[in-house]
A and B are shown apart, each in its own frame.
Chain A
């Protein structure tokens, strides 16, 4: 096992770079970070649309969220894989395809977290903002969302972990991330699949478990914070 790591750690970490495209764990992390950050504005828009009193906003947003929740991610990846080149008019690489699919997919799930956060906030917050004369947008972006995002931190970290795990589907469309790198190593070695994929699993586990633990720590801290606030007379 150590020998495999010794011979291939660079491929695992950064793919063929500098002799080829960046890949491996670096690409996995890039995809996860970029996927989640790009999906964030989309998620906020979706969440606000779903809570809107206007039906023409709420209807389509709700439909998007339900369709995404009802489909396997792999279906999205294939749709993007075939539709994106047709729409843009030129060839699209595996990484871009995966990123695009991830952004739509993550945005739907994130929007549900944000929506729950907004609904969970005491109504008094919005009413107080209104009483101070703030309009819809200042109320939403200066009063509601900052509090929601603060409360959401643990869920955001969990969502980041999910995104990291989802990037592994790049393997299916040969996007150059760490699962794909491992399969390349496996194809070269031929005889030690258990060691290669075991190493891959260990890599993901170390990364994701650290983040999951961080999410738990954040959760505890937030709970303590809320307990502190709750102790004050309302």
Chain B
């Protein structure tokens, strides 16, 4: 075939810069969406623990929407659909401030929040009610019981699934290429179309994705081992 596999060809000059920018954007998008998802996930968890049935249903609806619609479609709704609904002034502002990155972040963050709140809830639920009752009976109020007794125990259960969630979020940032966010997959395609070194370009991206994914997986199994309660 005469095809020479030569990764060095795509790791020089501007192409190297594109990969670095792509990787940086992927990481920035992961971190931003993670923070947004965590914040909203915690708020949703607190809201669904309030004694109002209607609020509980609302959160359940939120979770079901984000779990049953493909993430790519959610991103398309946010990118193409939502700006149409905004008032003109806000729309202009969004359009002139890297709207694709912002909207991808919102879409990814909101979707993660749905999974995070489920993880958090099942963590809290797994703590027996007697723990809370015991804390109250020795004189703790609600907040003290939560922060000194329930949450420290729940955290132990919640951290491994949250790390797994982070891995999924990291991989899902690649979907932002569909709306033109210059993250790693998008940049890889760009390098490919400029150099025609398709396999080299995708090999570089594959190695970069795997390196970060494996690091997150390693963190996950470390947390798993550290946090597992020894049942005697």
A residues contacting B by CB (< 8 A) are 66-67, 69-75, 78-79, 82-83, 161, 164-166, 168-169, 171-172, 179, 183, 186, 192-198, 200-201, 204-205, 208-209, 212
Per-position 1/0 for B48-82, Cβ under 8 A of A? 00000000000000001101111111101100111
Residues from chain B with a CB closer than 8 A to the CB of A161 are 68
A204 touches B82 (CB 8 A): no
Given A78-B202, A169-B72: A70 and B81 interface contact (C-beta under 8 Å): no
> Smallest distance from the beta carbon of B104 to chain A beta carbons, Å?
14
Residues from chain B with a CB closer than 8 A to the CB of A82 are 198-199, 202
| Residue B175 interfacial (CB < 8 Å) | yes
DSSP class of B's interface residues: helix, strand, loop or mixed?
Answer: helix
| Residue B45 interfacial (CB < 8 Å) | no
| Residue B174 interfacial (CB < 8 Å) | yes
Given A82-B198, A201-B77: A74 and B69 interface contact (C-beta under 8 Å): no
Question: What are 12 A-B contacts defined by CB distance under 8 Å?
Answer: A70-B210, A71-B209, A72-B172, A72-B175, A72-B209, A172-B72, A200-B76, A204-B70, A205-B69, A208-B67, A208-B69, A209-B68
B82 touches A194 (CB 8 A): yes
Bound-state Cα–Cα, A123 to B67, Å = 35
Bound-state Cα–Cα, A212 to B65, Å = 12
B81 touches A198 (CB 8 A): yes
- Given contacts A70-B171, A82-B202, A209-B64, list 9 more A-B pairs with CB under 8 A: A71-B206, A78-B185, A83-B199, A166-B70, A171-B178, A179-B70, A194-B84, A197-B77, A201-B65
Residue of A nearest to B72 (CB): A168
A165 touches B70 (CB 8 A): yes
